[in-house]
């Protein structure tokens, strides 16, 4: 009975990366498989400074391969690289062709306005003269298509690359472009990982100065897929001032720290409300939380974005506030944040 490459991959899917629930196949660690009359040789690639990680993976992989019927011998070779930026990175990350900087916008919890921040930050970067793309990585709850007011369907090139949607000078990709308004994305983990990789690797982004990634909330499969496979220039954590949001912001920051992705700073969204009648400030969700958390994490507080009716209305109508109202205080704050990001990445 001959052994197929698919059998080998399926066996290796039982091997988890130490400390993660993801397997080494979905992490992209398997670089080659050679099969010769029941003799199987597998080449893996890791980026880690922890000597226990490759040893554990090698033992687990050989044990998994021996479960294949008809196998005679196994050989697992591991090419180990030093991770960029220090110890602890889990895999070899690679750059997206043509993209200078990839910026992840994340949050520990939902409801903090992360997509609003990602959309308007991308617009503010574009208005500095940069070439900017925005990828909606929230596969289950995409919102970028709504916030940019387009339901256009992406097309494909002859090389089977997805052509991103262009709106307000940005190149956009989102699951929202592929689904109807009432159609949920009913997908298991491996399919979500595949879609995420397609959005990043199979989209014809072209030459970009910045690709902003709007991550889903939390620290799940999609976030791990991205931070373990894409060379990120940095991450921005979005939070609100109250403690319940700050607790989860710490978790997001810790995730990026563990995989050696620099946190460029915190953005405190819904920071305060300015009454349009008397310009009086109201700290609805408390005050000073973002500043204290930024100091605790030793990262900059990039900006404090107020609650603003026009910002909410613009997002619902598909026109980001930075594009719709250049004189808005919210626009001014996003432009300031964009300048801070540009300085950090020069």
- Residue 17 scores a pLDDT above 50: yes
Please, what is the average pLDDT of the chain? 86
| CATH class as words, domain 5-81 | alpha beta
* Domain definitions of the chain by residue range: 5-81, 99-344
The hierarchical CATH code for the domain 99-344 is 3.40.50.300
Per-residue pLDDT at 84 exceeds 60: no
Q: What is the pLDDT of residues 244-300, one digit of tens each?
A: 778 888 888 888 887 778 899 999 999 888 888 888 888 888 888 888 888 888 889
Q: According to the model, what pLDDT value does residue 83 have?
A: 52
282 vs 304: CA distance, rounded Å: 14
Closest C-alpha to 322, from 134, 61, 109: 134
Do the bridges between strand 39-47 and strand 30-36 make them parallel or antiparallel, or are there none, so unpaired? antiparallel
Cα–Cα–Cα angle for 22, 221, 134, nearest 5°?
Answer: 140
Burial 35-64 (b: 16+ CB within 10 A, else e): beeeebbbebbbbbebeebbebbbebbbeb
pLDDT tens string 202-238: 899 999 999 999 998 876 778 878 887 888 999 999 9
Task: Kindly indicate the confidence band of residue 303, based on its pLDDT and cuts at 50, 70 and 90.
Answer: very high
Give the integer Cα–Cα distance in Å for 345 and 125.
Answer: 12
pLDDT tens readout for residues 120-166: 999 999 999 999 999 999 888 788 999 999 989 989 888 889 999 99
pLDDT at 188: 58
Provide the whole-model pTM: 0.72
Whether 303 contacts 334, CB under 8 Å: yes
What would the two tokens of residue 189 be? 């983990």
Q: What pLDDT score does 89 carry?
A: 42
Same CATH topology for 5-81 and 99-344: the answer is: no
- pLDDT of residue 85 exceeding 70, the answer is no
Express as a percent the part of the chain with pLDDT over 90. 46
Residue listed under structure tokens 């980001």: 320
* Cβ neighbours for 336, distance < 8 A, ≥ 6 positions apart: 303
CB-CB contact of 130 with 140 (8 Å): no
């Amino acid at each position: 009975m001959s052994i197929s490459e698919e059998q080998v991959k399926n066996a290796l899917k039982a091997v988890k990366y130490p400390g993660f629930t993801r397997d080494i196949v979905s992490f992209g660690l398997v670089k080659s498989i050679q099969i010769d009359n029941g003799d199987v040789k597998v080449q893996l690639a890791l980026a880690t400074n922890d000597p226990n990680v490759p040893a554990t993976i090698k033992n687990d992989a050989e044990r998994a391969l021996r479960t294949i019927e008809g196998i005679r011998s196994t050989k697992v070779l591991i090419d180990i690289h030093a991770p960029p930026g220090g110890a602890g990175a889990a895999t070899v990350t690679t750059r997206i062709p043509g993209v200078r900087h990839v910026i992840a916008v994340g949050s520990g919890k939902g409801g903090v306005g992360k997509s609003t921040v990602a959309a308007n930050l991308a617009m503010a970067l574009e208005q500095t003269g940069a070439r900017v793309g925005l990828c909606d990585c929230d596969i289950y709850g995409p919102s970028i298509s709504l916030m940019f007011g387009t339901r256009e369907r992406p097309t494909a090139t002859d090389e089977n690359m997805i052509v991103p949607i262009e709106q307000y000078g940005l190149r956009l990709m989102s699951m929202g472009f592929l689904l109807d308004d009432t159609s949920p994305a009913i997908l298991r983990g491996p399919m979500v990982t595949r879609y995420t990789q397609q959005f990043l690797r199979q989209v014809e982004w072209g030459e970009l100065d910045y690709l902003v990634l709007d991550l889903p909330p939390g620290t799940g499969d999609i976030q791990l897929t991205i931070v373990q496979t894409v060379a990120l220039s940095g991450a921005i954590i979005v939070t609100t001032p109250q403690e319940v949001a700050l607790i989860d912001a710490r978790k997001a920051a810790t995730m990026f720290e563990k995989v050696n992705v620099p946190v460029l700073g915190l953005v405190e969204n819904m920071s305060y409300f300015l009454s349009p009648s008397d310009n009086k400030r109201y700290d609805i969700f408390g005050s000073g939380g973002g500043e204290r958390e930024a100091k605790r994490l030793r990262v900059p507080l990039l900006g404090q974005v107020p609650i603003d009716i026009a910002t909410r209305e613009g997002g619902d109508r598909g026109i980001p506030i930075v594009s719709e109202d250049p004189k808005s205080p919210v626009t001014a704050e996003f432009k300031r944040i964009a300048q801070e990001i540009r300085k950090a990445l020069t």
